[in-house]
Amino acid sequence: MQTWGTKPFPLYSSWFPTYWYMFTKDGDSCFRNIHGENKHYSTPTNPAAPARIPGGSSSGAAVAVAADFVDFSLGIDALGGIRVPAAFCGVIGFRPSYGVISNTGIIPVSSSLDTVGLFAKDPSILRRVGLVLLQLPFSVQRNPKQILLADDCFELLKIPKDRISPVVTNSAEKHFGRQVLKHENLEKYFSSKVPSLKELYSQKINGDSKISSLTLLANVAQILQRYEFKCTHGEWINSEKPVLDSAISAQINETLDMTDKEIEICKSIRTEMRLAVNNLLKDDGILVIPTTAYPPPKLGSKEIFSDDYQNRSFSLLSIASISGCCQVTLPLGYHDKCPVSVSFIARHGGDRFLLDTVQTVYSSLQEHADTIAKSKLSPNAVKQEHSADAVKEKGNQAYKDKQWQKAIGFYTEAIKLSGNNATYYSNRAAAYLELGSFLQAEADCTKAISLDKKNVKAYLRRGTAREMLGYYKEAIEDFSYALVLEPTNKRAALSADRLRKDEDFHASEMVAG
């Protein structure tokens, strides 16, 4: 295995010019640099897309891995310093949970956001090196019980979301069963679970409620970075008076407009965010979001300075940065000759669980990404898939509202649009059960299981339907198999035990008779 050798990896290097270089002699800075361009030492060439930027600020380390110079390299991530170059260079990037790896020896940009992480191409190497850095004790590998796709985050994408979402869903279904897949709207979730967001911006936005919580989080992350940067380096800036780029100078001086109370609210948001994400994911959840909204821009492009680029980028990057949770960026091939990626996030402290999950699904992610990239599906077929999913969500809402017949109608429409989705059949079976239509429910569950042999809900629902139809032996088999797939499922365990006791009771009565 190639490494950086026996010497410590240099924090300053002309060979890796944008690794963690704070200031050049005349004061140009990598502060808030997520693109990696450097006019003094040139920009590292992106091996995955030479005409595109490599991302920053650890772009040199990412380029070294992407070019196969080394098997892994280290970097620093405050607001995307690892995740963006990993996405743009087509490699794996790991931002560990905040504080789990010592920052001793690095020059800080933001004391509450800086995290030492790493790049690799091979998930096994990423995991091996990651566990050494994390110094975690051995534990049994666990599979995720829920994989949450942040639908509103995928709406930020500037490439077709069809290029990413189906890859994740197909891979998750293959390894863990479709029942683990869930959808989440982070905008609504953070609005309700991070109350200090509204407190901070009540004056700033003059009552404008249209600003999303994700945009507010992006602003908070940048405020904290600028404030902490100035607290650490302000004295040096004032004494040395370096010639700063006007944009950098404006970002640093912007913190002067923030009151002490507003800074304290930002810190409260950071605390509330960690609690909110931890409660959402618990010990066994993975949150799936795009790493970046844009594909890597062309070298010298002004696009990176646009408000839209900055807002979309930092809305995605701020989630793990502020919450301190761990995140892995995973490459998914190319779209229009540019690298595509997705990110997995686990709760703070869930680093081993995240690395284990990545190692489990990585190969299938690449396979499904390749299949979709080469897919000959017509645009109309892709559109139908999305239409079917939208109709299914309407069915879910009708089910929640206890409008069973209406829900069945929506699920039936979804099946007509896309007949190979096990969830549509399983969900329709649930509605049939509520109406007492047990034969239809059993038939739908059987179809769902034929499409997805790991669909726990389908086994549970078929077991219930068969019990109501008097097929006790078959019902026990369904509940027992559900337990094989999900050993901690209490409903399956209780149902199987109850039916076995009933079966034994009826058998003893027959003997006694």
Segment 329-369, tens digit of pLDDT? 999 999 989 999 999 999 999 999 999 999 999 999 999 89
Q: How far is CA 127 from the centre of its chain?
A: 18
- Is the confidence at residue 511, as pLDDT, over 50? no
- Whether residue 442 is found in the same domain as residue 358: no
Sequence-distant (6+) residues with CB within 8 A of 480 are 492, 496
- Whether residue 430 is found in the same domain as residue 503: yes
Collapse the DSSP code of 74 into the 3-class scheme (helix H, G, I; strand E, B; otherwise coil) and give the result. Answer: strand
Which of these ranges, 10-14, 371-375, 444-448, has the smallest mean pLDDT? 10-14
Count of structural domains within the chain: 2
Domain membership flag for residue 5: no
Query: Of the candidates 248, 226, 300, which has an alpha carbon nearest to the alpha carbon of residue 24?
Result: 248
What tokens were used for 225? Answer: 């970075």
Residues facing 95 on adjacent strands: 327
Residues facing 117 on adjacent strands: 75
Task: State in Å, rounded, how far the first CA of the chain is from the last one.
Answer: 74
| Complete DSSP assignment for 427-450 | HHHHHHHHHT-HHHHHHHHHHHHH
| pLDDT score at 2 | 36
- Is the confidence at residue 197, as pLDDT, over 50? yes
Amino acid symbol at 60: G
CATH number at residue 127: 3.90.1300.10
* Alpha-carbon span 112 to 454, nearest angstrom: 42
What tokens were used for 466? Answer: 């068969």
| pLDDT score at 205 | 53
- Decide which of 17 and 493 is more confident: 493
Classify each residue of 482-504 as buried b or exposed e, where b means 16 or more C-beta atoms within 10 Å of its C-beta.
Answer: bbebbeebeebbebbeebeeeee
- Whether residue 411 is found in the same domain as residue 476: yes
* Alpha-carbon span 358 to 380, nearest angstrom: 32
Domain membership flag for residue 71: yes
- Is the confidence at residue 4, as pLDDT, over 80? no
Amino acid symbol at 270: R
- Whether residue 357 is found in the same domain as residue 401: no
- Is the confidence at residue 162, as pLDDT, over 90? no
Q: Determine how β-strand 115-120 pairs with β-strand 285-289.
A: unpaired
- Whether residue 291 is found in the same domain as residue 338: yes
Query: Which of the listed residues 316, 350, 376 is the one where a domain comes to its end?
Result: 376
| pLDDT score at 241 | 80
Domain membership flag for residue 353: yes
| pLDDT score at 11 | 32
Residue 38's pLDDT band, with cuts at 50, 70 and 90, is: low
Peptide bond into 29 cis (omega under 30): no
Query: Which of the listed residues 315, 348, 376 is the one where a domain comes to its end?
Result: 376
Averaging pLDDT over each range in 95-109, 216-230, 264-278, 375-389, which range is the top one? 264-278
- Whether residue 281 is found in the same domain as residue 241: yes
| pLDDT score at 178 | 81
Residue 298's pLDDT band, with cuts at 50, 70 and 90, is: very high
* Alpha-carbon span 85 to 43, nearest angstrom: 12
CATH number at residue 421: 1.25.40.10
- Whether residue 298 is found in the same domain as residue 428: no
Domain membership flag for residue 102: yes
- Decide which of 418 and 86 is more confident: 86
- Whether residue 336 is found in the same domain as residue 425: no
Residues of the chain with pLDDT > 70, as a percent, come to 84
- Whether residue 328 is found in the same domain as residue 456: no
pTM of the model: 0.71
* Alpha-carbon span 354 to 196, nearest angstrom: 29
Residues facing 344 on adjacent strands: 288, 328
Q: What is the DSSP letter of 298?
A: B
| pLDDT score at 138 | 74
Query: Which of the listed residues 331, 353, 376 is the one where a domain comes to its end?
Result: 376
| pLDDT score at 362 | 96
- Whether residue 242 is found in the same domain as residue 277: yes
| pLDDT score at 27 | 33
- Whether residue 180 is found in the same domain as residue 305: yes
Q: Where in the sequence is the domain holding 507, given as residue range(s)?
A: 379-511
- Is the confidence at residue 199, as pLDDT, over 80? yes
Domain membership flag for residue 32: no
Sequence-distant (6+) residues with CB within 8 A of 64 are 16, 70, 73, 119
* Alpha-carbon span 99 to 446, nearest angstrom: 48
Q: Determine how β-strand 326-335 pairs with β-strand 92-95.
A: antiparallel
- Phi–psi pair at 150, nearest 5 degrees: -80, 90
- Whether residue 252 is found in the same domain as residue 263: yes
Domain membership flag for residue 43: no
Which of these ranges, 261-270, 278-287, 396-405, 426-435, has the smallest mean pLDDT? 261-270
* Integer CA distances (angstroms), 260 to 108, 227, 255, 303, 455, in order: 21, 11, 10, 34, 52
Domain membership flag for residue 335: yes
Sequence-distant (6+) residues with CB within 8 A of 252 are 31, 226, 229, 230, 234, 237, 244
| pLDDT score at 129 | 95
Residue 404's pLDDT band, with cuts at 50, 70 and 90, is: very high
* Alpha-carbon span 452 to 423, nearest angstrom: 9
Segment 134-159, tens digit of pLDDT? 998 777 889 999 999 999 999 999 99
| pLDDT score at 23 | 34
Domain membership flag for residue 35: no
Q: In what order do the strands lie in the sheet with 181-184?
A: 72-77, 115-120, 92-95, 326-335, 338-346, 285-289, 146-150, 181-184
